[in-house]
Structure 1
Amino acid sequence: MRSLFVIFAIMAGVLTSQAQATTVEEGDTFTLQVPENNRFAYVGVPKPNILIKRGSVATAKSLNHRKVVVKEVIREDGQIRLVLEATDGRKFFRHYRTLPASWPEAVNSGELKPVR
């Protein structure tokens, strides 16, 4: 009887944690994580040539472990897009106030990590 209760408790915990990870709302906080190849696939970081033309340093190191907040959630055509803003109020690459991201792909790939 105890083992049945333990199994039920574990399954309830797993299902609850999965349900929380599948929703996003305005005001949720995440941390940016630079992928191993230094190229974001699901967070809309401008290409290096665009950054260089605008006079910025074209390196993703400045984004690593940077906290961002969801400013807007856009739901259209069955896809969810996020508008991310830095929690410290600074611009990304000295020119961009916000960055777009695809939900849930950015979290599944590890580019965005939820702050708990």
Structure 2
Amino acid sequence: MKKLLFTLLCFTFFLTASANNEPKVGDVLTVKIPADQNFNHIEFPRANILIKRGVVTGYKSVNNETVVIDNIETKKNGSTVVTLKKKDGSKFFGILKNVKADYTKAIASGELLVVK
């Protein structure tokens, strides 16, 4: 009986903890540059494309940038893709209004941080 009660308590705890990790439209996040200087889970243009368009600073302009979740999509494989826009309404690198990101992988890698 004790084992059953303990198992149910643990299951409830994990279910509650996983429910808090779900993104909602309007959540505020912060973009951080990863250690290897390449974004793997946020769909920013590659550095050579930015340089061709005249953005000399590369990814430095999005470091510590506050973004808001604009749209949420769940793929068939279970991954959650969010559409991000800048909180101040300006464009990313002066050319992109929105970018997409794999929410769970970007959070896990440190590319996105949840602002509380």
Taking structure 1 as the reference length, the TM-score comes to 0.80
What does residue 104 of structure 2 align with? Answer: 104
Gaps of 5+ in 2: 1-9
4+ residue runs over 3 A deviation: 14-19
Provide the C-alpha distance between the structure 1 equivalents of 2:37 and 2:97, rounded to a whole number of angstroms: 21
Provide the C-alpha distance between the structure 2 equivalents of 1:113 and 1:77, rounded to a whole number of angstroms: 25
What does residue 3 of structure 1 align with? Answer: none
Provide the C-alpha distance between the structure 1 equivalents of 2:102 and 2:68, rounded to a whole number of angstroms: 14
May I ask how many residue pairs the two structures share in their alignment?
Answer: 104
What does residue 49 of structure 2 align with? Answer: 50
Gaps of 5+ in 1: 1-10
Q: Secondary structure at the match of 1:30?
A: strand
Provide the C-alpha distance between the structure 2 equivalents of 1:43 and 1:111, rounded to a whole number of angstroms: 8
**Aligned CA-pair RMSD:** 1.9
1:32 aligns with 2:22: no
Provide the C-alpha distance between the structure 2 equivalents of 1:110 and 1:44, rounded to a whole number of angstroms: 15
Q: Secondary structure at the match of 1:104?
A: helix
What does residue 87 of structure 2 align with? Answer: 87
Aligned sequence identity (%)? 33
Q: Secondary structure at the match of 1:69?
A: strand
